[in-house]
Amino acid sequence: MRNGTAKLLTLFHPADGQVRVKGVTSCPNTVLHPWLKQELTEILATLPQPAQLLEP
């Protein structure tokens, strides 16, 4: 890549070896990257709902 360094965001699930990747040109550590937020939201949507909610 010219004029900079390419970055690769990765989200790895060690239990099944599934990897999600996204190439980006910048990724500041101060905020959660929008792609990562989207991927995590999709992952959470596939999880079953808890059987019951516990009171705090």
User: Model pTM?
Assistant: 0.56
Q: Residue 2's pLDDT band (boundaries 50, 70, 90)?
A: low
Residue 30's pLDDT is 63
Is the dihedral angle over the CA atoms 31, 6, 41, 47 positive or is it negative? negative
Listed as own residue / partner, the contacts of 17-20 with beta carbons closer than 8 Å and 24 or more positions apart are: none
Report whether pLDDT(56) > 80.
no
Report whether pLDDT(53) > 80.
no
pLDDT digits (tens, 9 = 90+) for 7-50: 888 888 888 988 988 888 877 776 677 888 888 899 889 988 87
Residue 1's pLDDT is 52
